[in-house]
Amino acid sequence: MPNHSREKQTAPRLSNDKMNQITRESICRAMLLLLKEKDFQSISITELTQTAGVSRNGFYRNYEAKEDILNELIATLHRGLSIAIGPPVFGKGSIEWYHQFFSVLRSQSGTLLRLMEAGAGNEFLRMTSEQLLKSCPEASPEERYRLLAWNGALQNIAHDWLFSGMKESDEKMALLCSGLLYSF
């Protein structure tokens, strides 16, 4: 019969990496919740950590500033959009790609709008430009600038569409963009 008084009864411990991941996820969720209620600048670190249920030390172990959370949220959203939409399609067949693009944007519009209102639009543009250029490493300077112009134009159209209430259907936006951006 085992002697339970001598056996050490301990719960399994999570690694530091796992704990940091949980802390980061909690902080990101808390940021999105708070952005539903108030603007980014008025959210304090104290309010954020209390909402997330983490300590200030936990926050500063993972982030230097609130803006780092926005960048992480934008990066996560960007990865998800990239997976859902796939690489851009130019010329013939682009209408289906644009339709998927606007459909996914509509489904993520709440989060996108909150992040854009918080000032993360430039980071999103930077990430999409970087990804686009990585997909064409051998592009000539003219081709690089053409891709950047296309990305900037599409981002501006999407931004205006989102902030004006997405009145046009995904189909109409796909038709519009496939025509307007065809020359890129």
User: SS3 for 51-87, per residue?
Assistant: HHCCCHHHHHHHCCCHHHHHHHHHHHHHHHHHHHHCC
Give domain limits for the chain: 16-64, 70-180
Is pLDDT larger for residue 184 or for residue 10?
A: 184
- Could you tell me the two tokens for 135? 């997909």
Per-residue pLDDT for 11 more than 60? no
**Residue 31, SS3?**
helix
| CA atoms of 133 and 147, how far apart (whole Å) | 7
- Could you tell me the two tokens for 120? 């993360």
* Cβ atoms of residues 33 and 51 within 8 Å: yes
Per-residue pLDDT for 112 more than 70? yes
Per-residue pLDDT for 9 more than 90? no
Q: Is 19 exposed, middle or buried (0-12, 13-18, 19+ CB in 10 A)?
A: middle
| Mean of the per-residue pLDDT values of the chain | 90
> Rounded mean pLDDT of 101-105?
96
Give 114-126 pLDDT, tens digit per residue.
Answer: 999 999 989 999 9
Q: How confident is the model at residue 3 (pLDDT cuts 50, 70, 90)?
A: low
* Cβ atoms of residues 150 and 128 within 8 Å: no
Give 24-59 pLDDT, tens digit per residue.
Answer: 999 999 999 999 999 999 999 999 999 999 999 999
Taking the model in full, what pTM does it have?
Answer: 0.82
- pLDDT on residue 4: 52
Per-residue pLDDT for 159 more than 80? yes
Dihedral of CA 152/76/117/67: which sign?
Answer: negative
> Rounded mean pLDDT of 117-143?
92
> Rounded mean pLDDT of 145-169?
96
Class of 16-64 per CATH? mainly alpha
- Could you tell me the two tokens for 80? 């998800």
* Cβ atoms of residues 69 and 51 within 8 Å: no
- pLDDT on residue 150: 95
| CA atoms of 86 and 132, how far apart (whole Å) | 11
* Cβ atoms of residues 176 and 149 within 8 Å: no
